[in-house]
Amino acid sequence: RNRSTLAYIAAAAVGMVGMSYAAVPLYRLYCQATGLGGTTGSGHSSEQIESMEPVRDRVIRVTFNADVHSSIQWNFKPQQKEIYVVPGETALAFYKAKNPTDKPVIGISTYNVIPFEAGQYFNKIQCFCFEEQQLNPQEEVDMPVFFYIDPEFVEDPKMAKVDLITLSYTFFEAKEGQKLPLPGYQ
């Protein structure tokens, strides 16, 4: 009787450890599928983008935010505070990064979209996120973000009162061998 109780306890402990390891990839998949946590979509094929019909009667203000972690000494900011877009139409925005130090620094960025529920409709076609960016001493670069809001945005009742979306990036200093996980299934 004691052995079977011990076996059940050991199996439960092993199961909990296994679930804790599986939690991160499962949560990432869930966020990518639902847009939870501001995870954006990865875009569609060029044929789908070209055939999208813009929804002209629904204008959305997109604001931009830029942060840097304390581990990196870059200056990082959006070049525009906001732009107005309609679902189904592509847009281009720029961020500016400068390395004010006298040594090369490699940075890597993450992003999110607020409100979180809008993340599933915010599709980036091209961006600088999750890729290492090396800036030489005193170097300054423009970083483009090419995106669109899926026209299905207007059909979602939860998005009916959403007329403001914020795209936020945070840069971290990349450490040798460090890789940030890409959103979605790997």
Gap between the terminal Cα atoms of the chain: 44
Q: What is the pLDDT of residue 157?
A: 94
Report the percent of the chain where pLDDT is more than 70: 78
Q: What is the pLDDT of residue 156?
A: 93
Q: What is the pLDDT of residue 185?
A: 46
Q: For the chain, give every domain's residue range.
A: 1-37, 53-173
pLDDT (tens digit per residue) in 105-143: 999 888 889 998 998 899 888 888 778 889 999 999 999
Q: What is the pLDDT of residue 186?
A: 44
This prediction has a pTM of 0.69
The CA R_g of the chain, rounded to the nearest whole Å, is 21
Q: Which CATH code fits 53-173? A: 2.60.370.10
CB contact at 8 A, 167 and 110: no
- Which residues, 6+ apart, have CB-to-CB distance to 83 below 8 Å? 61, 62, 91, 93
pLDDT (tens digit per residue) in 54-94: 888 999 999 999 999 888 999 999 999 999 999 999 999 99
Q: What is the pLDDT of residue 124?
A: 87
